[in-house]
Chain A
Amino acid sequence: MHEGSVVADIISTVEFNHTGELLATGDKGGRVVIFQREQEVSGGECKIKNQVHRRGEYNVYSTFQSHEPEFDYLKSLEIEEKINKIRWLPQQNAAYFLLSTNDKTVKLWKVSERDKRPEGYNLKDEEGRLRDPATITTLRVPVLRPMDLMVEATPRRVFANAHTYHINSISVNSDYETYMSADDLRINLWNFEITNQSFNIVDIKPTNMEELTEVITAAEFHPHHCNTFVYSSSKGTIRLCDMRASALCDRHTKFFEEPEDPSNRSFFSEIISSISDVKFSHSGRYIMTRDYLTVKVWDLNMENRPIETYQVHDYLRSKLCSLYENDCIFDKFECVWNGSDSVIMTGSYNNFFRMFDRNTKRDVTLEASRENSKPRAILKPRKVCVGGKRRKDEISVDSLDFSKKILHTAWHPSENIIAVAATNNLYIFQDKVN
């Protein structure tokens, strides 16, 4: 496995674009860093030494400040600049477009390359200063001359003032003309061209806020059906909605909920059932949900229970009281599918992340850390020992570092390349056989 890491602010989101050529990260400081995969070079064409047989590393392509901290004077509270989500638009021309959002505002960014620049203006000199028209005696046509590659990011749209509560999800529709943004209580539908107006398609805010017991935790459009989307709740339920049914999708088309397991009931049952992430499979046939201890795969045609349940770190079940006390129980882990929907991945504590193969039912625990990863080294599977004798390579539950959590991961759309965000380090791992 090949590893590259970049030190930055705490990474808050990671996302590959649709071809996998670009990888975007957002951080707590409101910055977006985009990595681009090198073209693979074969022996004869390499210009730089040591790059023979280079596998296509990701290098920094562009960095820009997406959001700035704001102050809500009415509530005397800061609005964090932390980037909650980044979503790419499919590429339609030479430029790349992505949506990035903080708690309140969504922005559409255009990332484009400039490798030529016009020279020979009539009214301006080379430094851009205006020339005195009296001194101009000839006219010439400006020409484009090559220059060093410059990547610029410009904000093309700002979608603001539509969310009273904190935005947790954005999702681009398969029509590529609309997208949705979801906060704790509402989901809004936007047209990319219109920034001063959005349609509210889900509203679960009760008239009397004292009766509020459930919030929206994540939402996503169906990958192929532009009228269909799902949203998950803090009570462990998923609702699938069809926008053709009515303008306000308060009535769901499908309702996914698993009955509670009475043997696992505890004070924390509700909290650990709260869904932190929901993702459609690439095929559109399944949805995957992540709650505190498990990842579940649901068939869209079966609402009463998931078809697969994977235990991420069940050894934490006996520690829930402490994890409640130190707030770890509220950590929002994300989950991802691989390109063929055969493997799913999610993060855990101690910089561990887990992969589950849906076909072979095998799973593996890996660790993202500098000490254990050298370039071209193979990641060693890790194991957590839950009691009794601890073997040499195992780590005991009590030694886990709960400050090292992997909340955000991404999987290349077609290859076995994964990006794992461990606090402020980004790790990119590649399958050694490709």
Chain B
Amino acid sequence: MPFPLSPLCRYMLGKGGKRKFDEHEDGLEGKIVSPCDGPSKVSYTLQRQTIFNISLMKLYNHRPLTEPSLQKTVLINNMLRRIQEELKQEGSLRPMFTPSSQPTTEPSDSYREAPPAFSHLASPSSHPCDLGSTTPLEACLTPASLLEDDDDTFCTSQAMQPTASTKLSPPALSPEKDSFSSALDEIEELCPTSTSTEAAAAATDSVKGTSSEAGTQKLDGPQESRADDSKLMDSLPGNFEITTSTGFLTDLTLDDILFADIDTSMYDFDPCTSSSGTASKMAPVSADDLLKTLAPYSSQPVAPSQPFKMDLTELDHIMEVLVGS
């Protein structure tokens, strides 16, 4: 059965694995790892990232002729929220071990410095940016072909180009919530009630407003994106594996050193999430499971090095675009 999304899935897999591995394993920077190597935590993060991206794609790449299923939307949104919560807790967990007085909100401060082009999507209660968060990375690593391919509507109809819409959400932990809530507001406001013709008219206007706003965002995108993205590179920590700005690489190295002495058993999720009680508890998924999950539904066997070869060429290409060469 053909699954057009599978190759994209593996592509994202490769990304997450490499970065995460670099952060946690001292001395292994630059080593190419595959999803089947490494500790189970790496695979868990990989799968979580994959699912997060799939969920975003489902919410935003679908332009149905009929109203989308509310049940499906709610379940996908719950999935995103859960992952968000986990990432948030991961983000708040790490600074516990930082001897420096760097506040946990430092990443989120830089979050707020996101360029104005995207600020309307930033949630007022911004989440602390997880150093390991890969979502903004996905948002910014738009293949160049997509930068010119912007649709007018916020929800693109092209299933194969998820990053076209996620590009709008570099503070990625919140905007899917905003978009979801605005989508729900849309449903809510546009539902013909017994009284409100004017409410419906107002709602139609607001929907038009949103989509045109998003549309102009997208149209501005290609021109501004290069400048914006480089700004984003500076402001969002840990979002780029390859970055010309050395500031965050230094920070990451420092973190690696700091964490090297810490007992990594604390990174097992169960004790942490159970104490918090809010995030859902998810058992780490083994790498085999992850591979097994994806392998049968792709036409090619998943070779460990393949995703990363793709990554490197893609990254080079994207870097060229972003740097503006």
When the two chains form their complex, are residues A321 and B50 in contact, meaning their CB atoms are under 8 A apart?
Answer: yes
Give CA–CA (A77, B69) in the complex, Å: 13
Task: Say whether A330 contacts B69, CB under 8 Å.
Answer: yes
Partner of B184, one of A209, A266, A401: A209
Check B102 for interface membership: any CB of A closer than 8 A.
no
| A to B CB contacts below 8 Å, 9 in the list | A74-B192, A75-B67, A78-B66, A164-B192, A166-B69, A270-B82, A271-B79, A321-B293, A326-B1
Complex: chain A residue closest to B283, CB-CB? A265
CB within 8 Å of B: which A258-273 residues: 262-263, 265-267, 269-271
Which of B1, B47, B48, B193 neighbours the largest number of chain A CB atoms within 10 Å of its CB? Answer: B1
B160 at interface, CB cutoff 8 A: no
Report the Cα distance A234→B192, complex, angstroms.
25
Instruction: Bits for B68-89, please: 1 = Cβ < 8 Å to A, else 0.
Output: 0111101101110111000000
Contact status A321-B75, CB under 8 Å: no
Q: Which A residues lie within 8 Å of B51 (CB)?
A: 267, 321, 324
Contact (Cβ within 8 A) A212 B184: yes
Q: Is the CB of B47 within 8 A of A209?
A: no
Contact B184 A322 (CB under 8 A): no
* Chain B binding surface, main DSSP class: helix
Contacting residues, chain B, for A74 (C-beta < 8 A): 190, 192, 200, 204
Closest residue of chain A to B64 (Cβ to Cβ) is A77
Min CB–CB distance A358 → chain B (angstroms): 29
B292 interface residue (CB < 8 Å to A): yes
Chain B hits for A210, CB < 8 A: 177, 180-181, 184
Complexed CA–CA distance, A165 and B68 (Å): 10
Q: In the bound complex, what is the Cα–Cα distance between A192 and B128 (angstroms)?
A: 55
Q: Are B187 and A326 in contact (CB under 8 A)?
A: no
Residues of B within 8 Å of A266, CB to CB, are 282-283, 285
Enumerate chain A residues within 8 angstroms of B67, measured Cβ to Cβ: 72, 75, 77, 79, 103, 166
> 0/1 per residue, A386-425, Cβ < 8 Å to B?
0000000000011001110000000000000000000000
Q: With a CB–CB cut-off of 8 A, which chain A residues contact B282?
A: 265-267, 269
Q: Can you name 17 extra interface pairs (CB under 8 A) apart from A75-B187, A215-B70, A403-B1? A: A75-B190, A77-B65, A165-B70, A166-B69, A209-B185, A212-B74, A212-B184, A217-B71, A234-B71, A262-B283, A265-B283, A266-B282, A270-B79, A270-B82, A318-B293, A322-B297, A330-B75
Which A134-193 residues have a C-beta within 8 angstroms of B?
A: 161, 164-166, 184-185
Q: Given A212, A265, A325, which contacts B5 in the complex, CB threshold below 8 Å?
A: A325
Is residue A301 contacting chain B, with contact meaning CB distance below 8 A?
Answer: no
Chain B residue numbers with a CB within 8 Å of A14 are none
Query: In the bound complex, what is the Cα–Cα distance between A391 and B290 (angstroms)?
Result: 26
CA gap between A206 and B294 in the complex, in Å: 37
Select from chain B the residue with minimum beta-carbon distance to A216: B71
Contacts of A319 in B (CB 8 A): 292-293, 296-297
Does A80 touch B at the CB level, under 8 Å? Answer: yes
B40 to chain A, nearest CB (A): 13
Smallest distance from the beta carbon of A136 to chain B beta carbons, Å? 53
Q: Could you say which of B77, B185, B296 contacts A322, with CB atoms under 8 Å apart?
A: B296
A209, B67: Cα distance in complex, Å: 16
Judge whether A363 is part of the interface by a CB distance below 8 angstroms: no
Closest A residue, CB atoms, query B71: A215
Are A267 and B1 neighbours in the complex by a CB distance under 8 Å? no
Query: Is the pair A213, B78 in contact by a Cβ cutoff of 8 Å?
Result: yes
B316 part of interface (Cβ distance < 8 Å) = no
Nearest CB to that of A205 among chain B residues? B188
Taking CB atoms, residues of chain B closer than 8 Å to A209 are 181, 184-185, 187-188
User: In the assembly, what is the distance between CA of A77 and CA of B83, in Å?
Assistant: 31
Given the complex, which residues of B lie within 8 Å of A215, measured CB to CB?
70-71, 74
- A324 to B76 Cα, complex, angstroms: 10
Closest residue on chain A to residue B70 by CB atoms: A184
Q: Which residues of A contact B83 (CB under 8 A)?
A: 267
